[in-house]
Structure 1
Amino acid sequence: MKEGPDIARVAALLGDPARANMLTALMSGRALTAAELAQEAGVTPQTASSHLAKLEAGQIVLPRKQGRHRYFTLSGPDIVEALEVLMGIANRVGHNRVRTGPKDPELRKARVCYDHLAGDMGVALFDGLAKRKLIESNINGVALTPAGIDFANTFGIDLDGLRTKRRPLCRECLDWSARQSHLAGSFGAALLDRFYDLGWARRMPESRIVRFSDAGEKSFRELINP
């Protein structure tokens, strides 16, 4: 008998096309109902409920009940990381779905990956912080440097509060469209929230797109290339 984690079971849960569409929709970070996920997957509500039951049993999604409605979210940031990596592999080997329309370039430029910035601007943020020596790679992954800690405090991010959370402060996440790393973890999420607070960018309704204003993008570029 083989020992260790059963990756075949997890892969089977992620590999069904309808379930993959549901999980991709949940990468927006929003909690969605079964009816909304059925629409995303292009299946009937009954079929969606069956898929969600399997995902819930496999601890891929978590249910949340509010009033008469039951919502679903991804069970954790590690699921987001796995999905983003799989999307990168699919993009690299040519298994892409044809999508047309103005949203495609915007998704590639800047989008939400669960709760942090992804796309070309997410990669630029990661690279810019590294060039400024505010983050560094080590055997454990990615970490803030002493200069990065000073930057975070100056930029209005409460690192002490972030350190109380169970998730890593910084984590490298492979970007499916750029095939390079963007910054995840609680610090990555806090940076995107700060961009929102400063009015540099806003999340587009019912979409993963993050749209920067002209002034906001200028400030963002100055931040990563001072």
Structure 2
Amino acid sequence: MKDGPDIARIATLIGDPARANMLVELMGGKALTAGELSRVAGVTQQTASSHLTKLVDGGLLQTVKQGRHKYFALASDEVAGVLEALMGVAAKSGHFRTRTGPRDAALRKARVCYNHLAGDMGTRLYDGLMAQGHLCKTDDGPILTDTGAALMRDFGIDLDALSRKRAPLCRDCLDWSERRAHLAGSLGRALLTRMEELDWLTRSAGSRVLTFSDKGETAFAATFES
């Protein structure tokens, strides 16, 4: 056997349809119970528990305990990035689980990708910040410039608090529908949270779709694209 990371094991874990459905459902950023994930996967709760144990042991999921309840969430931003990239490969190859339609169009326009903004609106945010010099490309990924830091503080983002977190401030995430980068990392999460606080957008129940109001989309363009 060749030395190095065992990608076959990870591919096997993701490749099972029931486990893949669970992982994609968790891309919404919310921690879910085994019962909730069993319904998503279309399997019994006992079977779901077996799948979840494998995903936790494989480093793809983490458990979160609250009182007597146990929840499951993606283990890291890196796991979310891998899943988003795989969705891009599947979409490019024409492999879809359902027929396209209005819901698909909404998903492509704006959606949650592990608690940051993805879809057309996500890449618009990223491209706008780059074009205005608020983000700068480096070999290690995007970094926030001085003007970008000033913009974020004016927008109500606590950069000092974000800098104390273990997660990187800025990170590229390959958007599956746009096939270009959108902004992940702790800043990406903070921006989505702030947009929700300002009522620019709302989350759709039972879906990853984000819906911008007309007022929110206008404010978005004025803040990040002009």
| C-alpha contact (below 8 Å) 2:175/2:182 kept by paired residues | yes
For residues 93 and 204 of structure 1, the distance between their equivalents in structure 2, rounded to whole angstroms, comes to 27
For residues 99 and 71 of structure 1, the distance between their equivalents in structure 2, rounded to whole angstroms, comes to 31
**Bigger mean CA deviation after superposition, 23-32 or 65-74:** 65-74
Name the structure 2 match of 1:37.
37
Aligned residues: 226
2:180 aligned with 1:191, yes or no? no
For residues 68 and 192 of structure 1, the distance between their equivalents in structure 2, rounded to whole angstroms, comes to 30
**AA of the residue aligned to 2:181:** S
TM-score by length of 2: 0.96
* 54 and 141 in structure 1: CA distance in 2 versus 1, 3 angstrom threshold: same
Name the structure 1 match of 2:167.
167
**AA of the residue aligned to 1:217:** E
TM-score by length of 1: 0.96
Identity %: 56
Name the structure 1 match of 2:203.
203
In structure 2, stretches of 5+ residues that fail to align are none
For residues 146 and 40 of structure 1, the distance between their equivalents in structure 2, rounded to whole angstroms, comes to 44
* 42 and 101 in structure 1: CA distance in 2 versus 1, 3 angstrom threshold: farther
| C-alpha contact (below 8 Å) 2:173/2:183 kept by paired residues | yes
For residues 116 and 25 of structure 2, the distance between their equivalents in structure 1, rounded to whole angstroms, comes to 15
Superposition CA RMSD, Å: 1.3
CA apart distance, 1:68: 3.5
Name the structure 2 match of 1:65.
65
Q: What is the correspondence of 1:41-60 to structure 2 with a 5 Å cutoff?
A: 41-60=41-60
2:132 aligned with 1:104, yes or no? no
CA apart distance, 1:84: 0.4
For residues 170 and 21 of structure 1, the distance between their equivalents in structure 2, rounded to whole angstroms, comes to 27
Name the structure 2 match of 1:87.
87
CA apart distance, 1:195: 0.7
**AA of the residue aligned to 1:214:** D
In structure 1, stretches of 5+ residues that fail to align are none
| C-alpha contact (below 8 Å) 2:172/2:184 kept by paired residues | yes
CA apart distance, 1:103: 2.1
Name the structure 1 match of 2:225.
225
